[in-house]
Chains A and B, each alone.
Chain A
């Protein structure tokens, strides 16, 4: 007979016993599962960044920083394997910037209307409609853009812009026409993007305004300010960082938007600053060429553009979350004050 308690293997037995208890109770497994799935989300972000970094290694070492730098006559030549991404970066930046410039006043107006002016029974349905606008698939925007929006809205606006602003000294560079007869241009992409990001920005702006304590409004009104003065001089400064956060969120959406932009921008990397000419963006070049990339270096260059896009949106999201978070943290403290 062997006395079991003296065998050194008892460690294994103990372990087995503990595992048995844990299994029967089930909580360890549950905890592991929930933590594990949470960590998966974390790993996804790291994984996306790491994969794109790895997959673009050759392109990075071959082209270096020149890949991103502003250049005139940038080449994108799959046959000669010579790639420079500047025209696409410029296209993305200019269309997104224009979209933000247009969307900000509109979204501010909507945010103000929804939070301060409209009767409360109207607030919910209007908010829903705006969200529906954000739900319409990007390709549907693109299709409508090609056949309706471009010929009926963008083209006439482009002609007017080219005539009026096109002859100005410095600004004229951005409005040098003529806009193509189809309307396909960076301007078209900017306007479509505006429609697409207004719901995002206005929803956050509305929430920022709604979170501002009542006392702020009452104090301004009691001092004799009109409603507009209250909004412009009290509420907007109060919610400024939240609004900034909303803008950055919208910018993130605009930078990454692919299908609608690709369908209306004309997809041509010309040597021009003008938004009335056809353009090309980072996401459109990936969408158009990646599936049919001719050489390994070609697809690596496209992945490198994707990596840059990922890093930019990552940074923007961090900034936006930080700003919104700061407002959310500050607001409740001041309600008690």
Chain B
């Protein structure tokens, strides 16, 4: 080999190396930039909603019912109460089945039924929420003949169920088997072991899963469109008061409330955002702020909870 060829080779190799190094730097930089890019909307949305919503929010927003167009003031008390009612209903319908099914799935993951249940949980979490709305319309609204809080609550429960089931399952698997075995060995029946030994040990994870499911459900609009429908005159507290004043049975009052349409913050936001009136748009921003703060704080609380608990356990 002549020296000339060798040095040419050397130069080419060096050039190639430089090019590879540059493309390496460029691509790695791009990867970092995409991450930054994805976070831009997060801060933009949160910042803008806080700015706009903060301008239009006032105490009456939380304490008054909507007023007819053209009359200033008014709030979304109906939507706030409705959201709380729907979320409570959804939790009541989703938590017991979710936790119970999780016990089966956690202890029998590889039986045919266990596999089928895990699979359908995954599928259920992927079903579009509007389809669940249609399902509940056909199942409850159509057969009862009217829109109701009950139908909306069940729709949200179906949305929460996969999250609750999945997290409970994961948490139950993390509980040391020795705990369960010790309890069983002492003669405690399976149900008692599950409820008073395993469940408390997994409680932190369960609360996290529940909160995450709650955050998801409380921001949903699509499944409520044809189930809870919306109701400008819904006032839970006033109805309970007047019902009690006229000496009605509390159960009857409650069932009366559950069988009428209710509003929720996402529904109100959706209706108001499409109206051409500035005061409605302003209230939509305020509703967005309340909803976002509600959902994000539940989410953050869930995560902080688990972090603090794990730190304490380690420390």
Q: Which residues of A contact B (CB under 8 A)?
A: 25-27, 29-31, 33-42, 44-45, 47-48, 51-52, 54-55, 105-110, 112-114, 116-118, 126, 128-133, 135-144, 146-148, 195, 198-199, 202, 226-229, 231-232, 249, 252-253, 255-259, 263, 283, 286-287, 290-291, 302-303, 306, 309-310, 313-314, 316-318, 321
Chain A nearest CB, measured from B284 CB (Å): 6
Residue of B127, B194, B266, B269 most packed against chain A (CB within 10 A): B127
Residue of B39, B135, B284, B292 most packed against chain A (CB within 10 A): B135
Contact between A38 and B101 (Cβ–Cβ < 8 Å)? Answer: yes
Q: List 27 A-B contacts (CB under 8 A).
A: A26-B192, A37-B98, A37-B100, A37-B101, A38-B117, A47-B139, A48-B135, A110-B31, A112-B31, A113-B35, A128-B303, A130-B39, A132-B42, A133-B38, A133-B39, A135-B295, A136-B292, A138-B219, A144-B45, A199-B38, A226-B20, A257-B128, A263-B274, A310-B131, A314-B126, A316-B126, A318-B123
Interfacial residues of chain B within 1-58, with CB under 8 A of chain A in the complex: 20-21, 23-24, 27-28, 30-35, 37-39, 41-42, 44-46, 48-49
Render B96-121 as a binary contact track against A, CB cut-off 8 A, 1 for contact. Answer: 11101101110000000110110111
Contact between A142 and B116 (Cβ–Cβ < 8 Å)? Answer: no
Contact between B120 and A139 (Cβ–Cβ < 8 Å)? Answer: no
Contact between A51 and B135 (Cβ–Cβ < 8 Å)? Answer: yes
Inside 8 A of B167's CB, which chain A residues have their CB? none
Contact between A229 and B20 (Cβ–Cβ < 8 Å)? Answer: yes
Inside 8 A of B120's CB, which chain A residues have their CB? 41-42, 44-45
Contact between A113 and B32 (Cβ–Cβ < 8 Å)? Answer: yes
Contact between A137 and B123 (Cβ–Cβ < 8 Å)? Answer: no
Contact between A34 and B131 (Cβ–Cβ < 8 Å)? Answer: no
Inside 8 A of A136's CB, which chain B residues have their CB? 42, 45-46, 219, 292, 295-296
Contact between A30 and B137 (Cβ–Cβ < 8 Å)? Answer: no
Given contacts A36-B100, A198-B38, A309-B128, 5 further A-B contacts (CB under 8 A): A51-B138, A109-B33, A110-B31, A136-B46, A316-B126
CA distance A307 to B280 in the complex (A): 34
Contact between A40 and B97 (Cβ–Cβ < 8 Å)? Answer: yes
Tier of interface size on chain B: 35 or more
Inside 8 A of B285's CB, which chain A residues have their CB? 143
Instruction: Decide yes or no whether B206 CB sits under 8 A from chain A.
Output: no
CA distance A328 to B146 in the complex (A): 47
- Partner pick for A140 among B49, B98, B128, CB 8 A cutoff: B49
Inside 8 A of A198's CB, which chain B residues have their CB? 38
Contact between A140 and B269 (Cβ–Cβ < 8 Å)? Answer: yes
Inside 8 A of B28's CB, which chain A residues have their CB? 117, 227-228
Contact between B191 and A52 (Cβ–Cβ < 8 Å)? Answer: no
Inside 8 A of A118's CB, which chain B residues have their CB? 32, 35
Contact between A34 and B104 (Cβ–Cβ < 8 Å)? Answer: yes
What 10 pairs across the A-B complex have the smallest Cβ distances? Answer: A256-B128, A137-B219, A109-B34, A30-B191, A226-B24, A34-B104, A37-B101, A317-B126, A37-B100, A258-B222
Q: A129-B39, A139-B221, A321-B122 are in contact. Are A228 and B24 (CB under 8 A)?
A: yes
Chain B nearest CB, measured from A1 CB (Å): 39
Q: A291-B225, A306-B134 are in contact. Are A44 and B38 (CB under 8 A)?
A: no
Contact between A144 and B124 (Cβ–Cβ < 8 Å)? Answer: no
Contact between B295 and A40 (Cβ–Cβ < 8 Å)? Answer: no
- Partner pick for A34 among B37, B103, B189, CB 8 A cutoff: B103
Chain A nearest CB, measured from B275 CB (Å): 12
Contact between B225 and A290 (Cβ–Cβ < 8 Å)? Answer: yes
CA distance A36 to B44 in the complex (A): 46
**CB nearest to A133 among chain B residues:** B42
Instruction: Decide yes or no whether B78 CB sits under 8 A from chain A.
Output: no
- Partner pick for A283 among B97, B130, B215, CB 8 A cutoff: B130
CA distance A228 to B44 in the complex (A): 31
**CB nearest to A103 among chain B residues:** B38
Instruction: Decide yes or no whether B270 CB sits under 8 A from chain A.
Output: yes
